Structure 1
Amino acid sequence: MRRDLFDETHEAFRGSFRAFVRAEIEPYHEKWEAEGRVDKAMFRAAGEKGFLGMAVPEEYGGMGEPDFRYNVIISEELQRANVIGSGMCITLHNDIVLPYLLTATTHEQRARWLPGMVTGETMGAISMTEPGAGSDLASIRTTATLDDGHYVVNGSKTFVTNGLNSDLVVVAVKTDPEQRHRGISLLVVEEGTPGFTRGRRLRKIGLHSQDTAELFFDDARVPAANLLGEPGTGFTTLMRNLAQERLALSVSAISGARAVLDWTIAYCRERTAFGSRLSSFQNTKFVLAELTTATEVAQVYVDHLVRRHLAGEVEAEDAAKAKWWTTELQQDVVNRCLQLHGGYGFMQEYPVARAFLDARVQTIYAGTNEIMKEIIGRSIDSPARGDRG
């Protein structure tokens, strides 16, 4: 399908990043999958090539290009190469962590953290989920008490992407445990902070090379200068940035669906059964027709939202709609494409098998799809909606 979302500069960036994936990720992906984490040398190489912190202002070492389309290209190319697990350290760093350090920081904080975020010397992570609190962020129990210029942090976090490799973590804490949403603040916890330890690497059914871990805080002393924004504003900041996070997941989901569909079409053209190409059977044609149409329609919608995001016009419910729809579509595409592969689809050496496992979490993280429907439903029921469509 033809897309007019990108110009020549974007496509040049795509070519450069595709070459980077081919040289720096693909040869090592199987090794990292087995080890459960990537070599941070790859991440630093991404920084050297200009694939980290593109939105960071030039005064802090970045490109000064707050153009989300570069982020889109990175996600698309990682899905195309079927190495999303190894590349997620890049997408999480750019799409999800970086906005907090661009929008909720002082000049001193930006000068301290952003240069390393651009070069790859500093890998970021964000930590919200706890063993007893997932989508309901107001229920988090990790506390931070101000004491002599430091916040004393106690609690634990789980399901932290980049949990082992990260150098700084944006942590959601309760600075006022008596409050729910209004008691949440954000602290940047850096590697080497006394009382801050990392737990085990969590074993997942997919995305094996993307390190996911537990974090523990036992009277961890974090400088008060590491607070993002004002105390009690953390929930508002999280909600503001979750829109881009969910849009980024939509980009990843539709890119993954299209990649699997392309592999499956090629497979069906080559594979024979009963003396005929698999693609010649009516059932195969109908399945591929349905999936091709659905992915093209979804791609147009996601591209539309990317344009709106560039203009600062994407609302929480827009991102929720995209995240819900595209991740559910991705599940359908990978499942039905795996079926068309027959027994080979169950073999891990076939890309569709890995995509099937890697894609499963998409409907869960960044807020489950059930929560996405709740957000959409609330917006429909809101009197402030008016005539907005």
Structure 2
Amino acid sequence: MSVGTLQTSIVLDDPKRIHCGNSDPVLGHISIKYSPGHGNASTELFGPLKVHVTLHGRAKTKIWKSNGQNTNIYRGRAPLFAHRSLVYDDSFRALPGNIGIFPFKLFFPQAADALVADDFSENPTFICHRNQPLPASFQDSYRGFAHRYEAFVEYRIGVDVVMPQLQVEVIKPIKYLEPVVHYEGPRTPQVLNTKPIDWRGIVAVSNELLLPEADRPAGFRQKTKAFFGAGHFPTYSFDWVCLASRELYLGQPACFEVRIKPREKECTATLIPEVWLKSFHVKVKAHTKVRAHRTIFSCPESEGNYTVFEAMGAIDTKGPFSKANDNTKIVNTQALGTGRIGAFPSSFATYNISQDYSVEISFEFEVTGKTKNIDREYAVNVLPPLEVPTTPPAATAGPSSQPPGAENKASDLPPYDTLPPYELGTSSN
């Protein structure tokens, strides 16, 4: 006959905190409430008690494949690790209704230690070997024209409570109700000094506004001929170059540099016009690939492409290009992960999920009332936050990070917004 019930719950000190790497502890406590059994309303509980907590992680995918008549569902389950820790092992005394509090301090492992390679085919897009870096917390539900999948990487904390010498019923959270712990990779020690990507081009303008004011077309007929290009006007041309980093850091702005240089030998205009950088638009796109367990022939796969961050860059100076600013403009976005679309994890790959990114930029020059739009897209590596957040070289479009020396490093990451349960996740495209 049971002497009573122990109702257990797991409470995190900061449920929305994103823990970076294996040196960022997960703090919380186990709460145990004693309720006596039937007929023992005032019975005190006393005996040895053991409390274990388990920090565990997994990556899971669900893929829909249709041939027009039938739809098959494929699943890919990949455990990452499960580490059990003893929180309490001693005598325990409780009166009816009393609540015992047992603090814990847990750390993520340095790498995944579950080997599930036999369930998946070798594929350079994914990682099948043991001791792979832990992927960041991730959840996505994608429904495209020909692709549909759901995928997540999640980390949870479970609890086991035992009173070896007593018949006590223990009630604990079932697995899908265990609290989620949000994870990101270890902080990046310093900015990588990789060679930036650069694009180059030429802009040439030829119109009546490059003439001295007294020589410009006047009257309806002359203006009409000028409008349709019937006339010989001087030309102003310049080279431009745009520099962009190959790495982006969560919690930091994306930075760009735009320079121009007149092509003096090709410029026939006697008037030097003003050249403006009118706008600079930045879009970060995610490219997610997922796969399920191996079938007879192969591992079913799916993929999705979608925007995770979009912003107008802040240009450091409002005036045109000039010698005063070395014909250079510095552009910054707001801190990555704080965009209106939502936060996103660093680039990663694991047994059944691969996440990488590209950046699409669009900027516009204006010369003598004429505009020239430039579009480029390039692959980037999104890295975890910096150990010491840096200050961008110019004014930014929004908050970027906390200053060096601040005590709480987690504040440079956005709060982790909980998504709907896996089976109820909404679609993005």
User: Could you say which structure has the greater relative contact order, defined with CA pairs below 8 angstroms and 6 or more residues apart?
Assistant: 2
Pick the structure with more helix per residue: 1
TM-score for the superposition, normalised by structure 1: 0.25
Give the number of the structure whose alpha-carbon radius of gyration is greater. 2
TM-score for the superposition, normalised by structure 2: 0.24
Pick the structure with more strand per residue: 2
